[in-house]
């Protein structure tokens, strides 16, 4: 087990906090409507027993960014150990002069003075809230006049469970987003009664409980046990901490930033939080625990470390990447690493086959896209092939696995370049020299030279300052989620004065470290405050299926977004171009569908707050160097004031996704023109007639049936029967069957009639 100081790194800080709140916090049993907490006043609301308080806090490395959280407040716990156990809005931060208020309409609101708008609310304005109470167990509740609970913080946990708090089905704990890696770790209670630790939504690296019981909840008991219980309190699984049944005043269960789930107890004697249980005993077994920093191993002292054993790896910005083989002209060799298990992380889909060690090695060597393989010689004879530079894993002398990493052969030594001798000059007769002419010409030349030098010096100085600022912004905090804020002049520098247009109002550029970026021009009329608020939310989101927002420009009437660059461009050009369409194999089209589906599902359910795309189409899906799909321009509806209900927004994304799937299957960009025909062919038992004719006998019949069914369900006119994106992803993954759908537009006429009648004021 790791030492407790490691576990609490970054959290013991917490209360460099606006913890003047200790001085101004008042123990109250009730919090009336209109009550307010503010950054400037450093006040707090305290539970009646004084054990918990809610107020503003910040981190030492972000002195001007504040969050609202519930923390331990007992006098027996030193200030620097008063850990935060719940945060309003999860990752949401606000600036100076911001406030948190229980408004008169019964809604909790976090207002950011910097952006001039509400960044989080409890959405309870219509629920007759009469007051709030911070209970003695750390639960912040909103009550009506009958003292019924209308809303409670226990129902929206962030990364921590307190004793008595339940994690019910479909609920999630997400590790604190102190860097982009940890935000991919989550603790999830699935519908089958299993508690799972997951990386993204596809990799499960620890689970508890049997997949046979439904409607279970995970609950932390006050005696130091974690249990899976049914609604009738019947226990189906439990684990116990080292101090189970000991007299311990404070406990909490937290999903830490390193992806491990730990139970902590407060030690009165040593005045520290001690980890008394952790889900994954071997930290190296936590998926992607080293992320892009290399391979996990244990040193002599028993602590896990991340090393980069690939001596010929590409290492930049502290990343440990295996070599790309695209330009390997001298040929490739396989470098052996004994007792090492590797896996790809971006993407995570490795190719597994049963074969021998030599065959496994030769398959990678002969496949240009293969970067590494791992052969497990424990009797399973599995060959795991990776086709990405982003490789992680772990190493241990007892591990029955051998890995091979591909790298280029050493190139031939280049011929040295010797300085060339100046050619002999022919002897020429001397000319008569005009001294006054020479002086005049020299003076003029010197003057012009000085002017040119001054001009170039000024230009280079200005350019150097711009690049120096960009470089410092881009690299001051490796792995940071902070967005780069650029001036319009810097945008022009990045894009070479917009010389390389790669799409409508989209330009290719490059950061000073040569990292390519895509710069999107938006309408200059977008309100600056609304623009900054939107990009702040979008910029905090990371998922491998989403194009990452690197920075933005909001200066005068200039509005630009800077995205990571995708080498192979947008999906629509592969649909429209007959030559490029050949690269979109059936397998790749199904992979793109699943990748886009997972990305939209992530936006809908796995972000701290719901976010829709609003304009999902082939033009807004790009393909990176590995031909992996990434969704771009998500969440931009916020910029144009497009307000609609969460349900309506989600259904719009579902419908757009259905159109995209049908486009990928049929090759027709305008789905509305072929929908009825496609459904008719499918109903008559001829689904193969719908398939893009440019595909060459490679279509999987079962996958085709699945794709058409899910597309038709997504395109249903009756919104009540449309699936959620979660259901869509499960169908595409093959874990949920899809029933035969009715005609997609069978309800279209009646739906339009209802809408028209409603608008005219008639009763329906």
pLDDT in tens, 426-463: 333 344 455 555 555 566 666 666 666 666 665 554 55
Distance (Å, rounded) from C-alpha 463 to C-alpha 638? 34
* HSE (side-chain half, CA atoms, 13 Å) at 275: 20
Interval 597-615 mean pLDDT: 85
Element (H, E) at 235: strand 235-240
Task: Express as a percent the part of the chain with pLDDT over 90.
Answer: 44
Distance (Å, rounded) from C-alpha 4 to C-alpha 8? 6
Confidence of residue 425 (pLDDT cuts 50, 70, 90): very low
Interval 82-110 mean pLDDT: 92
- All residues at 6 or more sequence positions from 316 whose CB lies less than 8 Å from its CB, including other chains: 513
Task: Express as a percent the part of the chain with pLDDT over 70.
Answer: 80
**pLDDT for the residue 721:** 83
Interval 171-189 mean pLDDT: 77
Beta bridge partners of 373: 385, 404
**pLDDT for the residue 326:** 55
**pLDDT for the residue 85:** 97
Confidence of residue 187 (pLDDT cuts 50, 70, 90): very high
Element (H, E) at 655: helix 646-666
| CA max distance for the chain | 114
Confidence of residue 6 (pLDDT cuts 50, 70, 90): very low
Interval 257-286 mean pLDDT: 94
Contact 580, 570 (CB under 8 A): no
Query: pLDDT digits over 710-731, tens only?
Result: 999 999 988 878 898 988 998 8
Interval 53-57 mean pLDDT: 95
Quick check: 657 pLDDT over 90?
yes
Confidence of residue 108 (pLDDT cuts 50, 70, 90): very high
Alpha helices in 321-409 (DSSP H): 357-366
Nearest partner of 547 among 503, 599, 491, 505, judged by Cα? 599
More confident position, 274 or 642: 274
Contact 386, 373 (CB under 8 A): yes
Distance (Å, rounded) from C-alpha 180 to C-alpha 546? 13
For all residues of the chain together, what is the average pLDDT?
A: 81
Nearest partner of 219 among 211, 228, 210, judged by Cα? 228
Distance (Å, rounded) from C-alpha 152 to C-alpha 161? 13
pTM of the prediction? 0.59
Contact 265, 241 (CB under 8 A): yes
Distance (Å, rounded) from C-alpha 517 to C-alpha 562? 6
Query: pLDDT digits over 538-570, tens only?
Result: 887 888 899 988 889 998 889 999 999 998 999
Interval 488-498 mean pLDDT: 91
Nearest partner of 603 among 655, 540, 660, 659, judged by Cα? 540
Residue labelled with tokens 């002086």: 439
Confidence of residue 337 (pLDDT cuts 50, 70, 90): very high
Confidence of residue 599 (pLDDT cuts 50, 70, 90): very high
For 448-494, give the DSSP string. HHHHHHHHHHHHHHHHHHHHHHHHHHHHSSTT--PPEEE-HHHHHHH
For 687-745, give the DSSP string. GGGGS-TTS-S---HHHHHHHHHHHHHHT-SSGGGPPPHHHHHHHHHTSS--PPPPPTT
**pLDDT for the residue 424:** 36
Q: Which domains does the chain have, with CATH numbers?
A: 27-156 (2.90.10.10), 161-280 (2.90.10.10), 306-324+331-408 (3.50.4.10), 484-564 (3.30.200.20), 570-733 (1.10.510.10)
Strand order in the sheet with 235-240: 166-167, 217-220, 225-229, 235-240
**pLDDT for the residue 745:** 61
Pairing of strands 251-255, 235-240: unpaired
Alpha carbon distances (Å) from 268 to 75, 136, 163, 245, 734: 12, 20, 18, 16, 51
Residue labelled with tokens 């010797």: 418
Strand order in the sheet with 549-555: 484-486, 549-555, 558-564, 516-522, 506-510, 501-503
More confident position, 51 or 368: 51
Distance (Å, rounded) from C-alpha 314 to C-alpha 311? 9
- Other beta carbons within 10 angstroms of residue 294's beta carbon come to 23
Confidence of residue 292 (pLDDT cuts 50, 70, 90): confident
Give the burial string for 723-740 (b: 16+ CB within 10 Å, else e). bebbbbbbbbeeeeebee
Least confident of 90-94, 272-276, 460-464, 724-728: 460-464
Interval 121-137 mean pLDDT: 94
Confidence of residue 524 (pLDDT cuts 50, 70, 90): confident
Contact 305, 294 (CB under 8 A): no
């Amino acid at each position: 087990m790791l030492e407790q100081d490691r576990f609490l790194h970054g959290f013991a800080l917490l209360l460099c906090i606006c913890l003047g709140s200790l001085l101004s916090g008042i123990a109250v049993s009730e919090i009336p409507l209109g009550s307010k907490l503010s950054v400037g006043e450093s006040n707090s609301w305290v539970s009646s027993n004084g054990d918990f308080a809610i107020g503003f806090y910040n981190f030492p490395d972000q002195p001007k960014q504040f969050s609202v959280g519930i923390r331990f407040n007992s006098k027996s716990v030193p200030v620097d150990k008063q850990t935060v156990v719940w945060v309003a809005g999860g990752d949401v931060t606000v600036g100076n002069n911001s406030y948190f208020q229980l408004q008169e309409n019964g809604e909790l609101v976090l207002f950011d003075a910097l952006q001039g708008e509400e960044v989080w609310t409890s959405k309870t304005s219509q629920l007759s809230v009469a007051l709030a109470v911070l209970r003695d167990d750390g639960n912040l509740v909103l009550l009506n006049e009958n003292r019924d609970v209308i809303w409670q913080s226990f129902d929206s946990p962030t990364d921590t469970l307190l004793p008595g708090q339940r994690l019910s089905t479909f609920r999630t704990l997400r590790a604190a987003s102190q860097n982009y890696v940890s935000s991919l770790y989550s603790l999830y209670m699935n519908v089958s009664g299993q508690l799972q630790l997951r990386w993204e939504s596809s990799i499960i690296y620890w689970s508890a409980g049997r997949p046979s019981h439904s409607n279970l909840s995970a609950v932390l008991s006050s005696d130091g046990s974690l249990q899976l219980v049914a609604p009738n309190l019947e226990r189906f699984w439990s684990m116990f901490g080292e101090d189970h049944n000991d007299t311990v005043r404070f406990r909490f269960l937290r999903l830490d930033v390193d992806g491990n789930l730990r139970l902590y107890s407060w030690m009165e004697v040593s005045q520290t939080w001690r980890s008394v249980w952790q889900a994954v005993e071997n930290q190296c077994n936590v998926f992607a625990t080293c992320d892009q920093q290399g391979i996990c191993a244990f040193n002599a002292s028993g602590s896990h470390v991340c090393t980069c054993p690939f001596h010929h790896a590409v290492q930049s910005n502290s990343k440990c990447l295996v070599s790309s083989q695209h330009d390997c002209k001298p040929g490739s060799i396989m470098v052996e690493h004994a007792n090492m298990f590797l896996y790809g992380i971006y993407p995570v889909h490795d190719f597994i086959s049963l074969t021998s060690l030599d065959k496994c090695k030769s398959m990678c060597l002969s496949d240009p896209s293969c970067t590494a393989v791992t052969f497990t010689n424990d009797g399973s004879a599995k060959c795991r092939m990776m086709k990405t530079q982003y490789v992680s894993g772990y190493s241990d002398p007892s591990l029955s696995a051998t890995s091979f990493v591909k790298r280029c052969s050493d190139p031939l030594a280049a011929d040295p370049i010797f300085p060339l001798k100046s050619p002999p000059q022919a002897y020429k007769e001397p000319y008569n020299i005009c001294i006054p002419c020479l002086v005049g010409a020299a003076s003029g030349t010197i003057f012009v030279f000085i002017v040119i030098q001054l001009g170039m010096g000024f230009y280079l100085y200005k350019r150097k300052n711009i690049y120096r600022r960009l470089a410092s912004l881009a690299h001051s905090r490796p792995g940071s989620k902070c967005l780069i804020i650029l001036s319009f002049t810097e945008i022009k520098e990045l894009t070479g004065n917009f010389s390389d247009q790669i799409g409508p109002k989209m330009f290719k550029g490059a950061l000073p470290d040569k990292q390519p970026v895509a710069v999107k021009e938006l309408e200059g009329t977008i309100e600056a405050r609304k623009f900054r608020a939107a990009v702040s939310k979008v910029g905090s989101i990371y998922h491998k299926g989403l194009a990452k927002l690197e920075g933005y420009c909001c200066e005068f009437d200039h509005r630009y977004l800077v995205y990571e660059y995708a080498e192979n461009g947008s999906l629509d050009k592969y649909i429209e171009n007959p030559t490029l369409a050949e690269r979109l194999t059936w397998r790749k089209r199904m992979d793109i569908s699943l990748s886009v589906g997972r990305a939209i599902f992530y936006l809908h359910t796995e972000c701290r707050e719901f976010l829709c795309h609003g304009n999902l189409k082939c033009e807004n899906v790009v393909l990176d160097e590995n031909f992996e799909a990434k969704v771009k321009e998500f969440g931009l509806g916020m910029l144009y004031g497009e307000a609609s209900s969460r349900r309506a927004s989600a259904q719009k994304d579902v419908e757009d996704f259905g159109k995209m799937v049908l486009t990928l299957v049929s090759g027709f960009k305008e789905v509305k023109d072929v929908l009825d025909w496609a459904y008719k062919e499918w109903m008559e038992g001829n689904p193969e007639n719908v398939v893009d004719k440019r595909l060459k006998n490679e279509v999987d019949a079962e996958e085709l049936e699945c794709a058409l069914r899910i597309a038709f369900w997504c395109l249903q006119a009756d919104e009540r029967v449309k699936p959620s994106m979660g259901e869509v992803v499960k169908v595409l993954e093959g874990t949920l069957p899809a029933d035969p759908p009715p005609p997609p537009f069978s309800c279209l006429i009646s739906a339009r009639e209802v809408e028209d009648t409603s608008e005219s004021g008639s009763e329906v």
